[in-house]
Amino acid sequence: MKYSKYISLLIMLLPIVVFAFVKPAKIVLPQLAGVECIKEWICIDNHDRFQEAENLYETSLSKVERKLTKFENKPKVVFCSSNECFSKFGFNKAAGKSIGGFGVVIGPRGWKPHYIAHELIHQWQSSNFGAIAVWLGPSWIIEGMAYALSDDPRKKLSEPFQSYTEQYTKEFGQLSGPELALALEKEI
């Protein structure tokens, strides 16, 4: 009982501290980064580009679901048209980042279908196998799958991603949908 006030205070302050110092946590409430969620699953920093973001989202989601299986819930994607927005989530150089099973943040250079599909594939992985399993899973499967199934247009990726993609394609390239999910479940 003596410490109940301190414990209560700690519980009340913890979310504030997390959102202030762990920038990727802002995916849960992107409004804290100055982003507005126009739809439950599409958030954006520049309203003038909403239609473009929505088209990219729907096209990429459809492609991923055709190759894999449907998402139980549509994943949240934050579209940042500026580096300032992207850095508010703790990122700067990447085209996009998947944050566990919480959602995706797309940076200014990531507004392309293959980048969005790549990150949505990571969301699918987290949704189907769990974020920790994906984090600890074999990189050649996790990244190889995302590069192979996103239809990345680059003919040659930097290493180790080229090798990951080749190994994934060799092992699982002939599978899709539920058969792929079942085969991956045994590996991740």
pLDDT tens string 135-181: 999 999 999 999 999 999 999 999 999 999 999 999 999 999 999 99
Q: CA-CA distance, 161 to 111, in Å (whole number)? A: 21
Domain coverage including residue 163: 24-185
pLDDT at site 89: 87
The answer to the question of residue 4 being in a domain is no
- Picking from 13-17, 52-56, 87-91, which range would have the lowest pLDDT averaged per residue? 13-17
Q: Count the domains in the chain.
A: 1
Residue 6: is its pLDDT beyond 60? no
| pLDDT classification of 8: cutoffs 50, 70, 90 | low
Conformation bin of residue 103: beta by default, left when phi > 0, alpha when psi is -120 to 50: left
The answer to the question of residue 106 being in a domain is yes
The answer to the question of residue 7 being in a domain is no
Looking at every residue in the chain, the average pLDDT score rounds to 88
Q: CA-CA distance, 152 to 146, in Å (whole number)? A: 9
Q: CA-CA distance, 21 to 18, in Å (whole number)? A: 5
Contact (Cβ atoms closer than 8 angstroms) between residue 181 and residue 129? no
The answer to the question of residue 103 being in a domain is yes
Contact (Cβ atoms closer than 8 angstroms) between residue 41 and residue 75? yes
Task: Quick: pLDDT tens for 11-31.
Answer: 554 444 433 444 445 677 777
**Tokens read off for 97:** 């980042």
Contact (Cβ atoms closer than 8 angstroms) between residue 48 and residue 3? no
pLDDT at site 14: 46
Evaluate the CA torsion angle 115, 79, 19, 12 in order and state its sign: negative
